[in-house]
Amino acid sequence: MLAERLKTLRKENGMSQQRLADLLGLGQSTVAMWEKGKNSPEYESLINIANIFNVSIDYLAGQKTSRLSHRIPVLGYVRAGIPTEAVEEVLDYEDVTLPESEAGNYFALRIKGDSMAPRMMEGDTIIVRKQSDCASGDICVALVGSGDATVKKVIKKDSGIILMPLNACYDPLVFTTDEIEAFPVTIIGKVTELRAKI
């Protein structure tokens, strides 16, 4: 159970095994062994892992009672198209099952536009985990400039990042490393769930 939960938490946070190992002051192979269930973290490492992911040790150990249903706000609209100003207004609430300690780290947004079609359509709701980084290939909400928000697939390159639409009718948004700093381009959260409108 610990192996499965550790791997899930790491992926939900867009973190590589190497990055987690670095934060813990350990080797990547140690984290890999934990996730395969071939070894278990020492108590001190468990405490550090719980702190990194903001969960309880009980949750890491497999306790079922650590995840509860919480209501999170749907904070306005995000463009699945050309970036537009992010407006924080509570449109509705969504019920999500999360550890108690994680409830404040999530919010929801309503989709406008069709650049992420057919996977995400106008009117759908996305559940977003607040985080400032992600893995290449994650679908994230990004701020472009002072307040323009968009939801796109993030492709990381050595030269910068690409905010990639899923709809072939839209061009990708390409930013060099310098442009990421200058605009700036900021990841504000990773999409963890899509709630489609029927």
pLDDT tens track for 138-169: 999 999 887 678 999 999 999 999 999 999 99
List 11, 29, 115, 153, catalytic entry: 115
For the record, the structure tokens of 136 come out as 């290449």
pLDDT higher than 70, residue 53: yes
pTM: 0.62
Does the annotation count 152 as an active-site position? Answer: yes
Q: Which domains does the chain have, with CATH numbers?
A: 2-62 (1.10.260.40), 67-195 (2.10.109.10)
For the record, the structure tokens of 99 come out as 């550890």
List 112, 136, 146, 152, catalytic entry: 152
Does the annotation count 115 as an active-site position? Answer: yes
Rounded Cα distance between 32 and 107, Å, is 31
Question: Over pLDDT 90: what percentage of the chain?
Answer: 43
Average pLDDT, the chain: 85
Hey, how many other C-beta atoms are within 10 angstroms of the C-beta on 135?
Answer: 16
